[in-house]
Amino acid sequence: MHVTHLYAPVAWVCQVCGKKPVAGRDRSHSMRQSHRSIRPNLQSYKNGKICTRCLRTLKRKTNANTV
């Protein structure tokens, strides 16, 4: 898979922080490279998709408000 451009469909973007896929390269032991795309770890949360980092932050804030 050759990545020539990175456009981020709505399904791959965090709705809280806007994190989206980035382009990178895989390196083998012989230092040959191949293109790859690194996508954020998105989870469904209240009618949307957010990354796990934002999910942790939201849970921490909601626990602080209940105490």
Q: Burial code of 4-35, b = ≥16 C-beta within 10 A, e = fewer?
A: eeeeeeeebbbbbeebbbeeeeeeeeeeeeee
Instruction: Give pLDDT, residue 50.
Output: 95
Closest CA to 25 of 3, 8, 47: 3
Contact indicator for 6, 37 with CB cutoff of 8 Å:
yes
Element of type H or E holding 41: none
Q: Tell me which of 11 and 67 has the higher pLDDT.
A: 11
Which H helix or E strand runs over 26? strand 22-27
Q: Residues 2-46: pLDDT tens digits?
A: 555 556 567 889 999 999 999 999 999 999 999 999 999 999 999
pLDDT value at residue 2: 55
